[in-house]
A and B are shown apart, each in its own frame.
Chain A
Amino acid sequence: MFETTQVGSWPRSREMLRALRDRRLGKMSRKDFDRVANHEVRRTVTIQEEAGLDILVDGEHRRDNFYSFITEKVEGTRLMSLAEMLDEVEDKSGFEEMLTTLDVPASAIRNPTCVGRLERREPLALDDYHFVKSLTDKPVKITLPGPYLLSRSMWVGSYTRKAYGDQREMGDDVVRILREELQELAQAGCEFVQFDEPVLTEVVMSAECGRRTFM
């Protein structure tokens, strides 16, 4: 009862941020990147164990953000900063104004844009699960981006229309990919899988708040 856990991500160290940047720019090998990330995950697991949490997370250190990271794992995607996406947005001034009003740094926040048929190149989070489990006997929570968030954010018309007739068709592939991942995590014994759907609030609240957000 009253089991304690976190939602998922942990503050990144300077070393981790540098590794993420170097990896993104193709200046760091995966092996070197993993060495930095593994160290950070180990530290985060220790902190949680010492604090006494019941269900542990890996802190999402390897992820650029909680949904853009899939571009590392899924064929047919491209990591694009919101600044890059601005070129494709119809209402440019409206989009820019929204970013400013909402305090969103357009160059630092990136989107997983769908640019081709989606295919899982490697598991999204199964390896992360195995790594955390090698560090602790406690139950582990793995986070995945929710299907609705992906079906909205990945669709950038001018890029995605070349691969899919409409958003629902792309959504079917999102479902297939997330279902495969969930099945593999369940088979591996992962105790808790959490789907993140922050964009649901936008559907119902952005009108009331008089604005939409960027996701």
Chain B
Amino acid sequence: MGEELEYAAELINRIIEGVEGTRIGLHICRGNWSTREEVLLTGDYTSLLPALTAMRVRQFVLEYATPRAGDIKVVGESLSNNVPGTETPRELGLGVVNPRTTEVESPEDIVAKAEQALAFYGPDQIFLNTDCGFGCFANRCVNVEEVATAKIKSIVAAARFLRERYG
């Protein structure tokens, strides 16, 4: 693993070491400053895995609505076991809606995405979330409230369906 990735893992582990009583997550994305998808970064999580597997965080909150993030298999095969040195299973905060688009993902699309994750994770290990924020940069919000609201409602509808099917 490169020196920078090793340092990134070391930093987060020093912060969280021994802290209990809260769920600790780490979010990674490929940029969220523009609604032009082509200017944001592209690539799956493979090259980050050496750092991610070393991090003792419980949940990785990851972009997966955008095809630029690649296949769920990449993290499913490496990051679905226990947090190192514990009996606590790792979790996936699965990104299921793109915060930058005006089109609202259907609950059916979201269910299909979650079912891909179910090949590697149990239902209790899967959280459903947006790919990133709707307004990480106040002056450069990437969406409007009406669309954002419709997107989170779609996530909730998908979760209800999934709980019926797998609960």
Contacts and interface: CB of A to CB of B under 8 A. Distances in A.
B74 interface: no
Interface string B136-167: 11111101110011001101101100110011
Contact of A201 (B14, B29, B93, B162): B29
B134 interface: yes
B34 interface: yes
Contacts, number: 238
B48 A10 contact: no
Interface residues of A, number: 73
B33 A104 contact: yes
Contacts of B8: 146-148, 197, 200, 203
B42 A10 contact: no
Q: How large is the interface on B (under 10, 10 to 19, 20 to 34, 35 or more residues)?
A: 35 or more
A9 B133 contact: yes
Interface string B32-44: 1110100101110
Interface of A: 1-13, 16-17, 20, 47-48, 51-55, 59-60, 63-66, 101-105, 108-109, 141, 143, 146-148, 151, 168, 171, 174-175, 178-179, 182-183, 185-187, 189-198, 200-206, 208-209, 213
Per CB-CB distance, the 5 closest pairs between chain A and chain B, nearest first, are A9-B133, A1-B123, A148-B8, A147-B11, A108-B139
Interface of B: 2, 4-5, 7-8, 11-12, 14-16, 19-34, 36, 39, 41-43, 47-48, 51, 57, 59, 61, 93, 95, 99, 114, 122-124, 126-141, 143-145, 148-149, 152-153, 155-156, 158-159, 162-163, 166-167
